[in-house]
């Protein structure tokens, strides 16, 4: 098949994951030799200064010989993120003014503190005890 000189591959199987302003497409396609491969496309919605909407797309091609290593690396990376930062989502995408709210909360906690300012203490050595 041809579309303006580009080779368009027929989709064998397709799944869509909508995630806020991003959409991920997982498409199984066939090579000319009729073997299958996977394309993963990220499509992100943007608004131009004039108000018009457009989408930026990024695509990767994943072939069978790379599936196992790719899956291992993806699992390792996602496990690392969850282990280090937990499952709670904190990002500018979900809360555009996260940093302002976070800083305001810190200021609020300091202002509401009824504790007296910390007193200076003399450093003691445990050898003295």
3-state SS string for 41-110: EEEEEEECCCCCEEEEEEEEEEEHHHHHHHHHHHHHHHHHHHHHHCCCCCCCCCCCCHHHHHHHHHHHHH
d(C-alpha 52, C-alpha 55), whole Å: 10
Sign of the C-alpha dihedral, residues 76, 77, 81, 84? positive
pLDDT in tens, 56-101: 999 999 999 999 999 999 999 999 999 999 988 876 555 556 566 6
In a domain, 105, yes or no: yes
pTM score of the predicted model: 0.59
The predicted structure's pLDDT at residue 2: 43
Residue 40: which of 11, 69, 68 has the closest Cα?
11
CA distance readout (Å), 72 to 27, 75, 76, 79, 103: 20, 5, 6, 10, 38
In a domain, 36, yes or no: yes
Mean pLDDT, to the nearest integer, of 11-37? 93
- Here the tokens at position 69 are 């290593």
d(C-alpha 55, C-alpha 24), whole Å: 12
- The whole domain housing 34 covers 2-112
In a domain, 120, yes or no: no
In a domain, 81, yes or no: yes
Domain count, the chain: 1
pLDDT in tens, 92-126: 555 556 566 656 655 555 555 555 555 454 554 44
Residue 59: which of 38, 32, 36, 74 has the closest Cα?
38
pLDDT tier, 1 (very low <50, low <70, confident <90, very high otherwise): very low
């Amino acid at each position: 098949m041809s579309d303006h000189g580009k080779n368009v591959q027929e989709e064998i199987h397709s799944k869509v994951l909508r995630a806020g302003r991003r959409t991920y497409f997982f498409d199984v396609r066939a090579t000319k030799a009729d073997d299958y491969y996977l394309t993963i496309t990220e499509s992100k919605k943007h608004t131009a200064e004039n108000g018009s909407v457009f989408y930026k797309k990024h695509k990767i091609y994943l072939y069978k010989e790379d599936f196992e290593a790719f899956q291992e690396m993806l699992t390792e990376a996602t496990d690392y993120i969850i282990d280090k930062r937990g499952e709670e989502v904190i990002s500018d995408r979900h809360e555009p003014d996260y940093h302002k709210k976070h800083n305001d909360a810190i200021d609020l906690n300091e202002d509401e503190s009824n504790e007296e300012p910390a007193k200076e203490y003399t450093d003691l050595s445990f050898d003295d005890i």
